[in-house]
Structures are given as structure tokens and as C-alpha cells.
Amino acid sequence: MELIIFFWLICGVIAASIGSDKECGCLGFILGILLGPFGIIIILLIKGNKKLCPYCMSRIPAEATVCSKCQRDMSQEEKKQEIER
């Protein structure tokens, strides 16, 4: 029984460490503790919805049009990237 609790705690720590680099380490920890390995999967999915701001290199939601950190307009940058492709 202790082993399961220990395993769940490890899942919480792993999820928290995955979440920490996108400023939701607390959410990751809670998900990991509550859902165990499933919490890790969820936090990985949330991480997939983030993109890197080309101006300040911080992670922001993929749908964001203005960077929450440096307030730069992201929609312009996306249009440029689409043309380059």
C-alpha cells in the first residue's frame, strides 16, 4: 500500500517538474497527485498547447495573439511564418 502512495507522489513530482517550465507547476503537481500517471499525460497535453514567444522566449498559450510577458503582437509573427512556409 505504501508503494502505491509513493508511486502517486512520484507522479506528482514528475508532473510538477513538467509543468514548472510553463508556469503551472502547482497544477501539474495537483494533477499528478490526484490522477497519478494520467495527470502526467494531461500536463503533457496542456504543454502541447503552448508556443514559444519569438521575442522574449517565454511559453504562452498557443491561441494567444498578444504575448502575456512582453505584450508583443503575435498574430503578425504568425502571418509572416505562414508566408515563409
Give me the residues that bind Zn ion (CB under 5 A), please. 53, 55-56, 67, 69-70
Closest CB 9 distance from Zn ion, rounded Å: 35
Closest CB 60 distance from Zn ion, rounded Å: 7
Closest CB 71 distance from Zn ion, rounded Å: 7
Q: Which is nearer to Zn ion, 24 or 53 (CB)?
A: 53
Distance, CA of 6 to CA of 33 (rounded, Å): 10
85 HSE (CA, 13 A, CB side): 6
